[in-house]
Structure 1
Amino acid sequence: MSVYDDRPWLAHYGGRPAHLRVEFGTAMDMFDAAVAAAPDEPAVHYFDETTSWAELDRASDALAALLVARGFRPGDRCALYVQNDPAFVIGLVATWKVGGIPAAVSPMSKADELAWFLRRYRPAALLALADLYVEVVRPALATDPDIAVPVVVTASALDGQSRNDARLFAGVERLRPPDTIDLGALVAGFDGTVPRRRPVGPGDVAVLLATSGTTGLPKGARISHANLTFNTQTYRDWTGIRPGEPILALAPVFHVTGLVGAVTLAMLLRSPVVLTHRIHPGVMADAIREHRPAFAVAAITAYIGLADESDITADEMAPLRLRYSGGAPVEPAVVDRLETALGGYIHNVYGQTETTSPTHIVPPELRSPVDVETGVLSVGVPVSSTVVRVVDDDGRDLPVGEIGELVTSGPQVIGAYWDDPEATAAALTGGELRTGDIGFMDADGWFYVVDRRTDVINAAGYKIWPHEVESVLLQHPDVAEVAVVGMADDYRGESAKAYVVLTPGGTATEAEIVEYCRERMAAYKYPREVELVGSLPRSATGKLLRRKLSG
């Protein structure tokens, strides 16, 4: 009998069920229920205009009818290559209606990256922002005839609003590429003929989402409707957000956090989702003032942007009563600073794309404990119906407090990657996900993530967790951001190297920072080199990309 079988984390559930009974079998069921119960209520707030559930239903019917007319079949993929725009939600629902699989592609992807996704997913249709089509899609299609897409629909980020905020849309024109179908015109000209639904079931793929790709090429996570409805309800039941309360998409909706913690959560709650095209701190601040959202989940960098790059006050932030951060470990000092600046505590949520977002949550009535030895802030406790173990290299359960790899099982864990049996076999066995994250569980059932397995530095047989070094560096008054990686060392095999972004006005030199660490850390731990940089490489969701830093 293992300590993880005893599930000590249940003591922190506060009356929440140990096992979750899911209300809806598919995401399409959630959407249909919202339309039936609240057709005239707001579904999407986009700057100065609002789309109701009935209007969203009609718009997705128009696109669904086109897909059927153009030969789109059940199981076909429709690639979504847009930002946080109403078009994303329309494309998502339309694809579900015809039994298809939406495949979200980051709009930050360039031509070569997009071509890789198109070759992998083989979509029968593509919905893209018109400017991205002209600048990226068309060149990608022209250079590789093997990735032809039969149906291309384009939309504008200017659609669905009339404010034309210059911070986002300066110089943006409403394009209508002649070799594509314009989504706005399609919806405006729709005669209301509803296409015959092609039903989907709980086990069918609801969406293909790219993994973060922090250690190499991304993989396509096959998220089923059952995965999606389970974790959508998990967000609702664990955070206490109420039906009808607005939800802020503070994370990209083409990523698992924004999709589940904003778009499908809004469907379940019949709440409006607040979209802003991109995650611009000043624009987000205005959206909070205008639409008064109650809930948001995003990378901690989004909250740092609100605190440091917008003029929002703690009083103006007050309606956003449920603030969650996920995607990467958060320093306790950062949470404290943001609580002072923004007037509210930011709770941790933790999961992966392969777990359809949350596996761990800090309940809103609690605060994350901090581990005294490592200085790490807890990512929370496993949610309902979920078991997480900490294992050694041979897969054996480790005792409380010992560091190993987190392995997760539960209804939110995907069954496979798209067209990648080798990766599936390596990470997903027996219903469990080997997360690749290194951490531990304390005696009270709280979990802590120290680092990625691939980021551990081995210095003469001693393990260096980059997070440990980064925590010390962030205490330096001139250090704003830092990333620590391993570098080759003829004597030790590997040593730590730190990439440092200074605070505005910071004057510390590289040598001074090395000396600062040497005085505060064991000899094998402190970085032998420091390189001052202007910024650190991050994904669209704010996750640090260590693989782009060379030791």
Structure 2
Amino acid sequence: MTANPYAAKPWLSLFPERQPHEISPEFNDMLSALRTAVATAGDQIAIRFSSSNLSYAELDAASDRLAGWAAAHGVSRGDRIVIILQNVPAFAIATIAAWKLGAIPVPGNPMYRAAEIARQLDDSRPTLLICHDSHADTVREAIAIAGDDCPLLTVPDDGRDDPSIAGSFAAAMAENAPAPPAITIASDELGLMLYTSGTTGAPKAAMLNHAALASNSEAMALWYGIDPQSRILGIAPLFHITGFVAHLTMAIVARASLILFGRFDPARAIETIRRERPTWTIGAVTAFNALASLPDISPADFASFHRVDSGGAPIAPALRQSIADRIGHKLYSAYGMTETASVTHSGPIGRDLPVDPESGALSVGIPYIGTEAMIVDDTGKPAPVGEAGEIWMRGPQVMVGYWNKPAETKAALHDGWMRSGDVGFMDAAGWFYLVDRKKDCIIASGFKVWPREVEDALHAHPAVREAAVVGAPDAYRGETVIAHVSLRAGSIADEAELIAHCRENLAAYKVPRIIRIAGELPKTATGKIQRNVLREAEIETARAADSEKAQAAG
């Protein structure tokens, strides 16, 4: 019988010398972490936003007022509070208020339309909703579609407090309702329900308990060197798992300051960086690509950062270098999922990420503190070192399951292991590499083509800013490889040139037969390029072409 190469955890030899291998959590729930921050660092700035700041004591008091109002309006333990906000202080206040009632925060995407929100409301059945003024009509429409009936509080788009606005978040807190009695939260109580982005299917709400949030927040703080002197830049949306944990809950656990500036915008982000001088952040590579494309950017702007991390999608080595040339930092790739409370793999401090010599993929790091990982083949057995298979992870940060979806929960969890649906491999030293989503694999003329490998080749062309590769139906080949790209400002390249570039760097069956050049590629609100949208468009184009052929033949 072949030995399991992952049982020995070869990645532990890559840990920094004094880094613990396992997490001994200080907190079993996030409410205890908040209370400790208030007791030991009450005057420390918790949130920096525009020209106003909130200390931990002020954040505590504000969340008390909201919790009191919510309790008076029927919110109780186990209820869901839907929070559809950008990165503004009200998001943090609402989240903590939910915890103080034993309720469950359910972040929502402010980019969603009424039908999308309604599906989530129908599933979660909240007792309170909070959204921005500009989104209120859409949310009210969603409430009507879902047949729900619960209070709605609104927050100005710029995040300011204005208690004179009837029905507003600020007006509710201004009522000064008595704070609810202090409660004790059990570690296994739910601290977050977060719907997956739905880029690979119908959205599902991952249930994360307080222990998962607290333990992973502590592990991340240790791994990234976050402490009370740290200033975390909130690039990732708080309604996304990276923003919720790697920004909000990690800041609370570490008693650090969280810098918010609303919805991501490159100009607003660089203005905030220059004013606040943050020390660490994590966000989608598209955000850093946008920052690096600003005409007046320089490494001096990022001199205050001790490290810059990126998650959500693999980083092409060529793109990583081009961004580093502009901002003075090589992005550290990280890997994780909504279902694992954000990060499970990341590069250790003091080591650069290797590039696999055969595939050209940049490593996503190693399983970090308290996390196990392995690569599993199609038979369900551990794959040999260097061979690709599905990435499985296990640790205290793994979700309880999917809300109201027992079948999907059973399919995703196996003996405590989270089945990621992502394809990757581990090298002999213990570094992990992400190949692609299983569902994104293209079968062209019987050969497997992984989009990431083709995208990496395209990123190596100096004119290419973004690239996404999908498969489209092809009667002869089964599927045809099609690339969508956007170009850097001032750069010129046509389809023939880009195809020729790919021929020089890829096997013939991997070379895109069609390359479409666009100004921008479709993205989720968290900055991920939406391959599914592009794939659906290509399928529709193929159907239309088939229909025209059939009509011509008839």
Query: What band does the TM-score fall into relative to the shorter chain?
Result: over 0.9
Q: Deviations over 1:180-214 (max 9, x none)?
A: x32212333426x3211343211111011121222
Cα–Cα, structure 1 residues 318 and 519, in superposed 2: closer, same or farther, change >3 Å?
A: closer
Cα–Cα, structure 1 residues 435 and 176, in superposed 2: closer, same or farther, change >3 Å?
A: farther
Shift of 1:503: 2.5
Q: Report the residue type matching 2:111 in the other structure.
A: M
Partners of 2:292 and 2:482 in 1: CA distance:
29
Question: Are residue 123 (structure 1) and residue 109 (structure 2) matched?
Answer: no
Cα–Cα, structure 1 residues 513 and 313, in superposed 2: closer, same or farther, change >3 Å?
A: closer
Q: Partner of 2:487 in structure 1?
A: 502
Question: Are residue 92 (structure 1) and residue 92 (structure 2) matched?
Answer: no
Mapped contact 2:163–2:174 kept (Cα < 8 A): no
Q: Partner of 1:276 in structure 2?
A: 261
Q: Deviations over 1:219-249 (max 9, x none)?
A: 1110110110111011111111222321110
Partners of 2:308 and 2:355 in 1: CA distance:
19
Mapped contact 1:282–1:311 kept (Cα < 8 A): no
Q: Deviations over 1:274-322 (max 9, x none)?
A: 1101111111111112211111011111111221136343112111212
Q: Partner of 2:170 in structure 1?
A: 184
| Residue pairs, 1:326-341, within 5 angstroms | 326-341=311-326
Q: Partner of 1:260 in structure 2?
A: 245
Match for residue 456 of structure 2 among 471, 486, 510: 471
Q: Partner of 1:165 in structure 2?
A: none
Q: Which SS does the other structure have where 1:450 is aligned?
A: strand
Shift of 1:479: 2.1
Q: Which SS does the other structure have where 2:401 is aligned?
A: coil
Mapped contact 1:130–1:175 kept (Cα < 8 A): no
Q: Report the residue type matching 2:187 in the other structure.
A: P
Match for residue 546 of structure 1 among 519, 525, 531: 531
Cα–Cα, structure 1 residues 68 and 345, in superposed 2: closer, same or farther, change >3 Å?
A: same
Q: Deviations over 1:312-360 (max 9, x none)?
A: 4311211121211111000111221222211122212110000101111
Partners of 1:331 and 1:520 in 2: CA distance:
14
Q: Partner of 1:399 in structure 2?
A: 384
| Residue pairs, 1:55-94, within 5 angstroms | 55-94=58-97
Partners of 1:278 and 1:287 in 2: CA distance:
12
Cα–Cα, structure 1 residues 246 and 520, in superposed 2: closer, same or farther, change >3 Å?
A: closer
Indicate the percent of aligned positions where both proteins have the same amino acid: 41
Task: State how many pairs are aligned.
Answer: 533
Shift of 1:521: 2.4
| Residue pairs, 1:28-43, within 5 angstroms | 28-43=31-46
Q: Partner of 2:287 in structure 1?
A: 302
Cα–Cα, structure 1 residues 496 and 158, in superposed 2: closer, same or farther, change >3 Å?
A: closer
Q: Partner of 1:153 in structure 2?
A: 153
Mapped contact 2:134–2:157 kept (Cα < 8 A): no
Mapped contact 1:417–1:423 kept (Cα < 8 A): yes
Q: TM-score, normalised to structure 1's length? A: 0.93
Partners of 2:451 and 2:214 in 1: CA distance:
35
Q: Which SS does the other structure have where 1:524 is aligned?
A: helix
| Residue pairs, 1:229-268, within 5 angstroms | 229-268=214-253
Partners of 1:239 and 1:520 in 2: CA distance:
36
Mapped contact 1:298–1:325 kept (Cα < 8 A): yes
Shift of 1:176: 7.3
Q: Which SS does the other structure have where 1:436 is aligned?
A: strand
Q: Partner of 1:105 in structure 2?
A: 108
Q: TM-score, normalised to structure 2's length? A: 0.93
Q: Partner of 1:2 in structure 2?
A: 4
Mapped contact 1:244–1:269 kept (Cα < 8 A): no
Mapped contact 1:154–1:176 kept (Cα < 8 A): no
Mapped contact 2:87–2:261 kept (Cα < 8 A): yes
Cα–Cα, structure 1 residues 441 and 473, in superposed 2: closer, same or farther, change >3 Å?
A: same
Partners of 2:71 and 2:326 in 1: CA distance:
51
| Residue pairs, 1:144-223, within 5 angstroms | 144=145, 146-160=146-160, 178=166, 181-190=167-176, 193-223=178-208
Partners of 2:287 and 2:340 in 1: CA distance:
22
Q: Report the residue type matching 1:386 in the other structure.
A: T
Match for residue 505 of structure 2 among 504, 517, 520: 520
Match for residue 535 of structure 1 among 517, 520, 540: 520
Q: Report the residue type matching 1:123 in the other structure.
A: P
Q: Which SS does the other structure have where 2:8 is aligned?
A: coil
Partners of 1:2 and 1:30 in 2: CA distance:
38
Mapped contact 1:60–1:93 kept (Cα < 8 A): yes
Q: Which SS does the other structure have where 1:202 is aligned?
A: coil
Q: Partner of 1:141 in structure 2?
A: 143
Mapped contact 1:63–1:91 kept (Cα < 8 A): yes
Shift of 1:158: 3.2
Partners of 1:157 and 1:97 in 2: CA distance:
25
Q: Which SS does the other structure have where 2:229 is aligned?
A: coil
Match for residue 22 of structure 2 among 19, 22, 25: 19
Shift of 1:177: 6.9
Q: Which SS does the other structure have where 1:31 is aligned?
A: helix
Mapped contact 1:79–1:104 kept (Cα < 8 A): yes
Partners of 2:505 and 2:229 in 1: CA distance:
50
Unaligned runs of 5+ in 2: 539-554
Cα–Cα, structure 1 residues 519 and 331, in superposed 2: closer, same or farther, change >3 Å?
A: closer
Q: Which SS does the other structure have where 2:508 is aligned?
A: coil
Cα–Cα, structure 1 residues 310 and 36, in superposed 2: closer, same or farther, change >3 Å?
A: farther
Partners of 2:224 and 2:181 in 1: CA distance:
37
Q: Partner of 2:278 in structure 1?
A: 293
Q: Deviations over 1:407-458 (max 9, x none)?
A: 1111111120111112111111211111011110000000000111101111
Partners of 2:474 and 2:107 in 1: CA distance:
41
Q: Partner of 1:458 in structure 2?
A: 443
Q: Deviations over 1:1-46 (max 9, x none)?
A: 3110010000011131221111101011111111111222211111
Partners of 1:278 and 1:310 in 2: CA distance:
21
Q: Deviations over 1:144-164 (max 9, x none)?
A: 2x4323221112133448xxx
Q: Report the residue type matching 2:169 in the other structure.
A: L
Q: Report the residue type matching 1:7 in the other structure.
A: K
Shift of 1:461: 2.2
**Which is worse superposed, 340-349 or 90-99?**
340-349
Partners of 1:267 and 1:251 in 2: CA distance:
16
**Which is worse superposed, 525-534 or 258-267?**
525-534
| Residue pairs, 1:323-472, within 5 angstroms | 323-472=308-457
Q: Report the residue type matching 2:176 in the other structure.
A: F
Match for residue 489 of structure 1 among 455, 463, 474: 474
